[in-house]
């Protein structure tokens, strides 16, 4: 899978509120599929499994079988890669812009707030 295809898969996976909710649940600790089904009682087991499959294809969930149970682990590295490529550079640019604006406003304020001369002294 190419890097662009991987990005597409991650964005597609995170575009759905249920899948984001599953990732939120897995942030805290790995959960079995049964535990995830209990966390989303409005969904049947097949639907939860379909969401897990999409998250797995995107590399966001890593399933590990232990006996008859399937534990699902969150792998946040694909999200980190997206952050490094798109969010980080934009955030750095925005922070630099805000810092520049702050310096400009402080400069305007310090020049406009001059003490008035006291007459008669």
pLDDT tens for each residue of 41-94: 999 999 999 999 999 999 999 999 999 999 999 999 999 988 888 777 777 777
Following DSSP, what letter does each residue of 75-108 receive, concatenated?
Answer: --HHHHHHIIIIIHHHHHHHHHHHHHHHHHHHHH
For 3-75, the fitting CATH number among 3.40.710.10, 1.10.287.3510, 1.10.620.20, 1.10.10.10 is 1.10.10.10
3-state DSSP of 5-27:
HHHHHHHHHHCCHHHHHHHHHHH
What is the C-alpha separation between 43 and 26, in angstroms, rounded? 17
What is the predicted pLDDT for the residue at 113? 53
* pTM, two decimal places: 0.72
pLDDT tens for each residue of 20-52: 999 999 999 999 999 999 999 999 999 999 999
Q: Where are the domains of the chain?
A: 3-75, 77-110
Smallest CA-to-CA distance from 61 within 85, 77, 39 is with 77
């Amino acid at each position: 899978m190419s890097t662009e295809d991987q990005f597409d898969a991650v964005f597609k996976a995170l575009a759905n509120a249920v899948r984001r909710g599953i990732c939120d649940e897995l942030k805290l600790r790995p959960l079995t599929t049964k535990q995830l089904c209990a966390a989303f009682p409005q969904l049947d087991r097949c639907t939860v499994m379909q969401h897990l499959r999409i998250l797995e294809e995107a590399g966001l969930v890593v399933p590990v079988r232990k006996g008859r149970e399937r534990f699902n682990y969150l792998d946040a590295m694909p999200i980190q890669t997206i952050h490094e490529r798109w969010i980080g550079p934009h955030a750095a640019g925005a922070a630099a812009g805000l810092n520049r604006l702050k310096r400009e406003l402080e400069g305007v304020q310090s020049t406009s707030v001059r003490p008035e001369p006291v007459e008669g002294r």
